[in-house]
Amino acid sequence: MKSRKAPGSDEMTVDILKAGGVPVLRWLVKHFADVWINEQMVKEWSVTTLIRLYKNKGDKKIRDNYRGIALLNITSKIFSRIIHNRIQDLINGQLLEIQSGFRPNRSTMDQIFT
């Protein structure tokens, strides 16, 4: 994951996790395994902080001149990425070569010419 991103409700950043080294990595693996085995998500992972940022254009009193940002818990982002990658690998292994829809490194042009 990229560094220098805003933290979620837990105030944890990617930089803090990276600085923790192997002990933090072991803790994350154990934590993720517990979630996977118990099939129970951690409640704090579902807490999202919504903030609005001014787009630097137009009247500040008009809400359309703002964009929303959702600050998510970093451990939930990591866990979600792991699950996403596992599902993606499973799907890519089952799709035929000629099926390109929304797959990495594939384009519409690839589909047209196969």
Block mean pLDDT (10 aa), the chain, length 114:
81 89 94 93 89 94 93 92 92 77 72 69
Which sequence spans correspond to the domains of the chain? 14-96
Give the Cα separation of 106 and 94 in Å (integer). 16
pLDDT score at 94? 83
pLDDT score at 91? 84
pLDDT score at 114? 63
Partnered with residue 49 across adjacent β-strands are 71
pLDDT score at 38? 94
pLDDT score at 1? 75
Give the Cα separation of 41 and 23 in Å (integer). 22
pLDDT score at 7? 84
